[in-house]
Amino acid sequence: MSDFYDDIIDMAAELLAEFGNRTNVCLRSRNAAAYDEIENEYTNESETNTPLLAVDLAYRTNVIDGSRIKANDRNVICSNEVEPKMEDTLIIGGIEHTIHAIKKVAPSGTDIIYMVQARS
């Protein structure tokens, strides 16, 4: 069964490589910071920008409801290279987007792709 999911991962990577773009979408992760009680602030916080192999899509108008999905939301399909987290942000075309939902497509526990709802 493992070979089957390996083939699906390879197919997903091929499709993302063909239709996706590694230069348009970046995952911005904020690394853990230490809290300085004397200064009353976080120190040593850093950011890491990781280019993603992804497809950036607009939502179809029939699924936009104005609250759960808004007109400017983006539906970003990402490869399984890096797992996005809710506290991360996506940089799409130079504009920072917050992550509002992440759907992991993982049959049998094997991560194939991540579907991310991003909002600017």
**What is the full per-residue pLDDT of the chain (120 aa) written as tens digits?**
578 878 888 888 888 888 877 778 999 998 766 677 777 776 767 788 999 999 999 999 999 999 999 999 999 999 999 999 999 999 999 999 999 999 999 887 888 999 999 999
Q: What is the pTM of this model?
A: 0.81
Domains of the chain, first to last: 2-119 (2.40.10.270)
DSSP three-state, residue 89: strand
What b/e string do you get for 68-106 counting C-beta neighbours within 10 Å, with b at 16 or more?
A: ebeeebbbbbbbbbbebeeebbbbbeeeebebeebeeee
| Distance from chain centroid for Cα 85 | 7
Report how far residue 60's alpha carbon sits from residue 106's, in angstroms, rounded to the nearest whole number: 24
For residues 112 and 8, is the Cβ–Cβ distance under 8 A?
yes
